[in-house]
């Protein structure tokens, strides 16, 4: 029984590791400028965690194999080094591992959060609500019109509560249901929620940020690869959570201008 158990542990450990090693199911390809350190951090963590996982499962299995079903004359033995060795091992192995991960992790994190968006970043606003994202581009004047929450009406396709009759800034704002960004341009995404908590997650972009009602948050990123990606909500927001999504089109500058023209016509 013990040997079977040991073998089972070996097999499970190895089988578990195969899809990871083969990248059968793996992160989507990175299309951002800031994603490389995150991916690197992921690989390093995967290597360290994987080794820890395999090593400890193997040792566990081996010990179970070796030390069960003792013969009558067997004596118990104490692990050479005792508890002290274990505590040292934990502090040295895991401690340094953790420290290393932590320190390198700071770099990847800082890359995303501690640099302000460039001055020439393209501003885009995103509003989350049950259960769709809507995006707003400031138009030629470069400034977003004020939002009047009491005027928000999905029924009238006035998702942002814009008063285009009175607010000059709002007149040229373009509100869209799909997000398009020019490739290789930094985007400054300004986020707010009109109702409950939501989240903005684009796996390819290596961006995930919650919408916190009552707070304006922002992220910035640069997409480097033309294509159509999906934006999904990762914060439970109600019955339609699973279908709260939008498409992100990364377009060439010409296509982006054409797209903008088309959207403007739809206003």
Partner 1 sequence: MHDTAHAHAGQHAAPTSFIRKHVFSLDHKVIGKQYYGLALAAVLIGMFLSWLMRLHLGWTNLAIPGLHLLTKNGAPGDVMTPEFYLQLMTMHATIMVFFVLTTAPFAAFGNYFLPIQVGAEDMPFPHFNMMSFWVTFVAFLVLMSSFFVSDGPTLGGWTQYAPLSAVGQVGGPGEGAGVVLWALSIAIFCVGQLLGSLNFITTTLDMRTRGMSLWRLPLSAWGWFITSVMGLTAFAVLMPACILLILDHVAGTSFFVPANTVMNDQMQPHSGGSTLLWQHLFWFFGHPEVYIAIVPGMGIVSHVLVTNMRKPMLSHRVLVYAMGALAVLSYMVYGHHMFVSGMNPVSSLVFSFPTLVITIPSTIVVLIWMGSLYGAKLRINSASLFALGFISMFIAGGVSGFFLAQPSIDIMLHATYFVVGHFHLVMGVAAMFGIFAGTYFWFPKMYGRMMNETLGKIHFWCSFVGAYAIFMPFHYLGLAGNVRRYQAFAPEYMQPLIPLHKFITIAALFTGAAQLVFVYNLFVSRYKGEPASDNPWQATSLEWSTPTTPPPHNNFGDTLPVVYHDPFQYGVESSTGDYVMQTSPEKASAHDES
Partner 2 sequence: MKNLQKLAAVLMAVMVVLCGALLLTHEVSAATEGKISGTVKYEGTPPHMRGIDMSKDPYCAKANASTSPHMENVAVGSGGGLENVVLYISEGLSGPALSQPATNVPVFDQKNCEYTPHVLAMDVGQTFKVTTSDQTAHNIHPNPNPMTGNIPWNQSQPPGAPPVEKSWKAPEMIEVKCNIHPWMHGWFAVVKGPYATTDANGNYTISNVPPGNYTVTAWQETLGTQTAKVTVAGGAPAKADFTFKGK
Between 12 and 118, CB nearer to partner 1: 12
Give the shortest CB-192-to-partner 2 separation in angstroms.
16
Shortest Cβ distance from residue 264 to partner 2 (Å)? 11
How many other C-beta atoms can be found within 10 angstroms of the C-beta atom of residue 23? 8
Give the separation between CA 55 and CA 92, rounded to whole angstroms: 16
Shortest separation between residue 252's beta carbon and partner 2, angstroms: 19
- 221-260 residues in contact with partner 2 (CB under 8 A) are 238-240, 243, 245-247
Q: Which does 177 bind (CB under 5 to 8 A by kind): partner 1, partner 2, none?
A: partner 2
Question: Which residues lie closer than 8 Å to 27 by C-beta, 6 or more apart?
Answer: 39, 42, 203
Q: Which of 206, 220, 221, 251 binds partner 1 (CB under 8 A)?
A: 206
User: Counting contacts by CB under 8 A, is residue 157 touching partner 1?
Assistant: no
DSSP-derived 3-state class of residue 2 = helix
Binding region for partner 2 (CB under 8 A) out of 23-31, 56-64, 116-124, 156-164 = 156-164
Does a cis peptide bond (omega within 30 degrees of 0) precede residue 61? Answer: no
Residue 159 touches partner 2, criterion: CB under 8 A? yes
Q: How far is it, in rounded angstroms, from Cα 147 to Cα 160?
A: 6
Question: Tokens 């179970």 belong to which residue?
Answer: 64
Residue whose pair of structure tokens reads 């990606």 in the numeric block = 229
Q: Which residues bind partner 2 (CB under 8 A)?
A: 129-133, 154-157, 159, 176-178, 238-240, 243, 245-247, 266-267
């Amino acid at each position: 029984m013990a040997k079977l158990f040991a073998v089972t542990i070996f097999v499970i450990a190895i089988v578990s590791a195969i899809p990871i090693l083969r990248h059968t199911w793996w992160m989507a390809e990175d299309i951002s400028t800031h994603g490389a350190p995150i991916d690197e951090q992921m690989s390093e963590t995967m290597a360290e965690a994987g080794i820890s996982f395999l090593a400890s499962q193997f040792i566990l299995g081996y010990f179970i194999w070796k030390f069960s079903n003792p013969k009558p004359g067997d004596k118990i033995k104490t692990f050479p080094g005792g508890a002290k060795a274990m505590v040292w091992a934990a502090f040295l192995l895991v401690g340094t591992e953790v420290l290393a991960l932590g320190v390198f992790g700071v770099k990847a994190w800082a890359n995303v959060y501690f640099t302000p968006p460039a001055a020439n970043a393209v501003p885009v606003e995103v509003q989350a609500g049950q259960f769709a994202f809507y995006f707003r581009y400031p138009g030629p004047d470069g400034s977003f019109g004020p939002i009047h929450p009491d005027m928000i009406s999905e029924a009238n396709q006035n998702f942002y509560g814009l008063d285009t009759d009175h607010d000059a800034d709002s007149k040229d704002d373009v509100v869209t249901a799909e997000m398009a960004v020019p490739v290789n341009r930094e985007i400054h995404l300004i986020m707010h929620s009109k109702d409950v908590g939501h989240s903005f997650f684009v796996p390819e972009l290596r961006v995930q940020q919650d919408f916190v009602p009552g707070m304006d948050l922002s992220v910035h990123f640069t997409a480097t690869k033309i294509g159509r990606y999906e934006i999904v909500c990762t914060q439970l927001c109600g019955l339609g959570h699973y279908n709260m999504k939008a498409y992100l089109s990364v377009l060439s500058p010409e296509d982006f201008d054409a797209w903008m023209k088309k959207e403007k016509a739809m206003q």
